[in-house]
Chains A and B, each alone.
Chain A
Amino acid sequence: MKVRILVFLKPSVLDPQGQTVRNALLTLGYKSVKDVRQGKAFEIELENVDRLEAEKIIPEIADKVLANPIIEKFTWEIIEA
């Protein structure tokens, strides 16, 4: 099973890297760009687990290691069964 976890800074936390990318896009003439948030993506391959177990493990991993809950939030999805 393969899962993808996305980690972003919380909306309340300023993301200067996203802002810089946004400004670059505006400079290039993409006037419709309103906001950019930069984050991290993780793909994790699991073996010998079912969906139920993955639902237990992944949030644990994300909370403990992949994201810092003080400043970041995460979402995840199964991308390969």
Chain B
Amino acid sequence: MKFGVVVFPGSNCDYDTFHALQNVMGQETVFLWHKDHDLQRVDGVVLPGGFSYGDYLRSGAIARFSPIMAEVKKFAEAGGLVLGICNGFQILLEAGLLPGAMLRNKNLKFLCQHVHIRVENQKTAFTNAARKGQVLRIPIAHFDGNYYADPELLAELEKNKQIVFRYCNEKGQVTEGANVNGSVSNIAGIINREGNVLGLMPHPERASEKILGSEDGRVIFQSMINYLEKKAGRGKKKATKVVKPKVTPLPPLIGTF
């Protein structure tokens, strides 16, 4: 499958995400420049973490007006898979591709640590490789990850099973103490109603190899690959297929900010 990693000025997890998709997951991967209007016929788009446009105004608020985002929006509306990680999640919220908004972390601190998240819905294009209620250990690194939804929206998210990940302790219990940033209902990641756009604050690309301390993030990438392969009619491959890492040098970035 072919994946595109969008690069905004200030993205800083673009290369990590590219590496995880290409070298760890063994997928064809390209960078998509924020000024471009062409998604290069990718099967899935990833908006990586970072600080697009310096987080000026609000996190993700400026990136949403990039030329590439108009294409991402069209792609999403046509059913294309879009994953937003951290700042990518914030951009999806600002762009209206996912409902709700982000507030500053409740303790007003930048949080950079490993957290546990529980898979609340394993029947999505992003979690089909996970077990029901599986607990993933994936790091977070953000200032504005305090997910906000008013009571009506929260009820709607619950009803439609759009809450895909919740912060929990290592035993998988969703507790107040595990809710590091103060998100409503411990929400760490949500999906749109149609099921093809997902945003989450934790960084799966930073937990995709043993050397990084956790491989749990691969579940998300593998799920996307499973979904896309099934959609393309490439038979039923085993969800846990391990791809031998093949390290290919990453392409340089071309373009001026």
Contacts and interface: CB of A to CB of B under 8 A. Distances in A.
Nearest to B151: A12
Contacts of A20: 108
26 contacts: A9-B103, A13-B103, A13-B148, A14-B103, A16-B103, A16-B104, A16-B106, A16-B107, A16-B108, A17-B104, A17-B108, A20-B108, A65-B57, A65-B61, A65-B65, A66-B57, A68-B58, A68-B61, A68-B94, A68-B101, A70-B100, A70-B101, A70-B148, A70-B150, A71-B101, A71-B103
B37 to A, nearest CB: 21
A37 B96 CA distance: 26
A5 to B, nearest CB: 12
A9 B103 CA distance: 10
B36 to A, nearest CB: 22
Interface residues of B, number: 14
Nearest to A64: B65
Contacts of B94: 68
A25 B101 CA distance: 29
Nearest to A68: B101
Interface of A: 9, 12-14, 16-17, 20, 65-66, 68, 70-71
Interface in B144-167: 148, 150
A16 to B, nearest CB: 5
Interface string B61-101: 10001000000000000000000000000000010000011
Contacts of B101: 68, 70-71
Contacts of A16: 103-104, 106-108
A12 B150 contact: yes
Interface centre among B57, B106, B107 (most CB of A within 10 A): B57
Contacts of B106: 14, 16
A20 B148 CA distance: 20
A70 B94 CA distance: 10
A70 B93 CA distance: 10
Nearest to B99: A70
Contacts of A17: 104, 108
Contacts of A9: 103
Most buried by B among A9, A13, A17, A71: A71
Interface string B104-142: 101110000000000000000000000000000000000
Given A14-B103, A16-B104, 12 more contacts: A12-B150, A17-B104, A17-B108, A20-B108, A65-B57, A66-B57, A68-B58, A68-B61, A68-B94, A70-B101, A70-B150, A71-B148
* A-B pairs, 10 with minimum CB distance: A70-B101, A71-B101, A68-B101, A16-B108, A71-B148, A16-B106, A68-B58, A16-B104, A20-B108, A71-B103
